[in-house]
Amino acid sequence: DLSSPRLAHCMGIEQFQQHTLAVIFKGSFHSA
């Protein structure tokens, strides 16, 4: 997905990583 790197570049790597971790955490939380 070419939009992901562009999104990361726009948001900033740190913010993008934090957002990704939040999404993964929420996903795993709801799956549990």
If DSSP states are collapsed to H, E and C, what string results for 1-32? CCHHHHHHHHHCHHHHHHHHHHHHHHHHHHHC
pLDDT per residue over 2-32, tens digit each?
A: 667 776 666 677 888 888 999 998 988 777 6
pLDDT reported for residue 10: 66
Q: What gap in Å lies between CA 16 and CA 2, rounded to an integer?
A: 15
pLDDT reported for residue 30: 74
pTM for this entry: 0.44
Does position 1 have pLDDT exceeding 80, yes or no? no
pLDDT reported for residue 7: 67
Q: Tokens 């939009």 label which residue?
A: 3
Contacts of 19 (CB under 8 A, 6+ apart): 11
- Name the packing angle between helices 3-11 and 13-31 (round to 10°): 120
pLDDT reported for residue 12: 79
